[in-house]
Amino acid sequence: MSPETVKPNGKSPVTPLRSMPPIERFTPITPHLAISPTVSVVVPAMNEAENLPHVFATLPQWIDEIVLVDGNSVDDTVAVARRLRPNVKIVTQTGRGKGNALAEGFAACTGDIIVMIDADGSTDGHEIISFVGALMTGADFVKGSRYASGGGSDDLTFSRRLGNKVLTGIVNKMYGTQYTDLCYGYNAFWSRHLDVLDLDCDGFEVETLMNIRAAKGGLKVHEVPSHERDRIHGESNLHVVRDGLRVLRTILREWRRRPAPPRPEPAAAPAADRGVA
């Protein structure tokens, strides 16, 4: 008798379990853990040839795709990336700024999950498993926090720390969020929510934009602790006052914007595709 027609104790029919996907669909993480969604990592870079060996060395071998967005570097950034990971996908940025680089990188991704990290060595690729794990257990958008228990920073100056605290407080008050860290560039999300994020900014305000639109769009946001390290080589393009004002304008502008509805989880995907094996 088919399980669809069985009525134990006269109750409604039992819904059969959906079948497991084939074993080749799973990506091994550890000897005891595997996931079936594919993972893309986006790395915006401009003149980061010296830092890429350190960055790529932290990226797990189990990720499916690395998308390096090159901001028209004048050093060997692209050549170094290809030497380190021959299968890296190179996207030559057509616009300017980190926000534009991420938008172009996200558009080139083919993975079910997208993770964004920095190319200066400040974000640790070993932490990607925490972000992916949070997504696998129900989150739509996962943001790294230097202030969550277990997080920290080697690079936050007094002015950056103060500015971040003030701006985080404004966002929490205006949008009803409970963020602990607003201006941090380590985030991950399901690629089906790209329409909700709909990046249309150029600069370092991109992290704030993503956090606000995730909240306004009704996404389930989860914070995970992250430790920010010092840039290894070179100098940051971040300017505290200028970029802080851009962030503030973004916060105020988004207040008037109608959010895009989140895209539902694909109904055809087997249940095991959203869990672990």
Is the pLDDT at 57 greater than 80, yes or no? yes
| Cα–Cα distance for residue pair 75/242, rounded to 1 Å | 27
Task: Give the tens place of pLDDT for each residue, 107-151.
Answer: 999 999 999 999 999 999 999 999 999 999 999 999 999 999 999
Task: Give the tens place of pLDDT for each residue, 44-55.
Answer: 999 999 999 999
Tokens of 72: 């028209």
Predicted confidence at residue 34, as pLDDT, reads 66
Predicted confidence at residue 3, as pLDDT, reads 41
Q: Kindly state the average pLDDT of the residues 81-105.
A: 96
Model pTM? 0.81
Which range, 1-15, 90-104, 244-258, has the best average confidence (pLDDT)? 90-104
Task: Give the tens place of pLDDT for each residue, 181-226.
Answer: 998 989 999 999 999 999 999 888 999 999 999 999 999 999 999 9
**Of 4, 15, 18, 41, residue with least CA distance to 274:** 18
Close Cβ partners of 114 (under 8 Å, ≥ 6 residues apart): 39, 40, 41, 42, 106, 188, 189, 190, 191, 194
DSSP 121-144: S-S-GGGHHHHHHHHHTT-SEEEE
Tokens of 135: 């997504």
Q: Kindly state the average pLDDT of the residues 35-58.
A: 94
Predicted confidence at residue 158, as pLDDT, reads 85
Predicted confidence at residue 43, as pLDDT, reads 98
* High-pLDDT (> 70) share of the chain, %: 79
DSSP-derived pairing of the beta strands 39-45 and 227-228? unpaired
Band (235; pLDDT cuts 50, 70, 90):
low
Mean pLDDT of the chain: 85
Amino acid identity, residue 195?
Answer: D
